[in-house]
Copies of this chain bind each other. A is one copy, B any other.
Amino acid sequence: MSSTASTTGRAGRPRASADSTSSAASALSGREQILDAAAALFSEAGFSGTSTRAIADRVGIRQQSLYYHFAGKDEILAELLSSSVRPSIEFVESIEAQVPGEVTPAGALFALASIDAGTLRRTPHNIGTLYLLPEIQDPRYKAFRDQRVQLRAIYGRLGAACAHPDVIAALGQERIGVVLIQLAEIVIQLRRNDGADTGAGGSTVIGTVTSPVASPVISDDETIAASCLRVLGLTSAQIDVARTEAATIIGTFLHRDLAVTVA
C-alpha cells in the first residue's frame, strides 16, 4: 500500500459515518448519491415530507453537508425533474422533424410512447411519481412544466394526425395530447402498485415488472404504446403496422445517438 490503509480515494474530509450499508455506496459521486437518495425519499414521502436531514442520513453525511452540493432542497428537486424529461425531449426532437415524409404519424407516436414508457419503467426509484407532486405547480419549476406542455403538444399533434375522425371530433387535438400522456404514464401507477420498488442505485434494472408467466414477444412498453393507438380508434391491423415502423424508427435513433456519443 502506498500510504494509509484503504482510504476513500477521493478528496475532502472523510465522512464521519461508518459507511456501513453493504454494496455500492461508492461508484456514484457525492452529488449523485444525494440525488439518488432524494429521488427515493421524494417519491415515498413527497417533497415537503422529506427533510434535508432524511436525505443526508440516507447518504451517510451530515445534514449541513448537503449545502455544499446544492443551494437548497428545491434545487435537488429541480435537477431530478429536468434530468428525467430530458430523454423524451431529445427523442421527440429527432423524431418529429422527419414525420411528414419518411415516417407516418402512427409509427412516430408508437415509437414515442414506447420510448417514454420504457424510460419511466427503468428510471430509478420510479422518479415519474415526482410529476404528480403538488409542489411542482410552484413557479420555481415552470421550466420543467413547460417542457411537459411541449411534450403534450407533440403527442396531441401526432395523435390528431392518425386518429379516427370520430375521436378527433370528440376530443380535439389538445385533449388527445392529455389522454396519450396519461396512458404512457400508466407505468408510474403500475410500478407504484407493485410496491417495494426495486430501482437499485445507479444500475439500470430493466424489465421484470409484472409478467409472472412469460410474456410473448410484445413488451409491456409496446402494450402501452398499442393502447395509445387503440384509444385513438385504430384497428389491431393498423396498430401492428405502426409497431413495425416504430421498431425501425427506434433502431435508427439508437444508432444516431451512438454516433453522437462517439463523436
Contact = CB atoms under 8 A, between A and B. Distances in A.
A193 B233 CA distance: 25
Total identical chains: 2
A46 B230 contact: no
A44 B226 CA distance: 34
A166 to B, nearest CB: 5
Contacts of A183: 179, 182-183, 231
A148 to B, nearest CB: 10
B171 A182 contact: no
Contacts of A65: none
Nearest to A224: B179
A180 B119 CA distance: 22
Contact of A193 (B135, B178, B223): B178
Contact of A47 (B44, B49, B132, B232): B49
Contact of A44 (B46, B137, B166, B167): B137
A190 interface: yes
A3 to B, nearest CB: 46
A186 interface: yes
B175 A190 contact: yes
Contact of A45 (B45, B134, B189): B134
Given A46-B48, A47-B46, A178-B189, A171 B231 contact: no
Contacts of A236: 164, 166, 233
Contact of A223 (B129, B170, B192, B226): B170
Contact of A46 (B134, B167, B189): B134
Interface string A218-251: 1000010011001111001000000000000000
Contact of A134 (B133, B226, B227): B133
Contacts of A135: 45-46, 49
A143 B154 CA distance: 39
A175 B135 CA distance: 29
A173 interface: no
A33 interface: no
A189 B182 contact: yes
A43 interface: yes
16 contacts: A46-B47, A47-B48, A129-B134, A137-B192, A166-B236, A167-B230, A171-B227, A175-B223, A178-B186, A178-B193, A179-B183, A182-B182, A183-B183, A230-B230, A231-B231, A233-B236
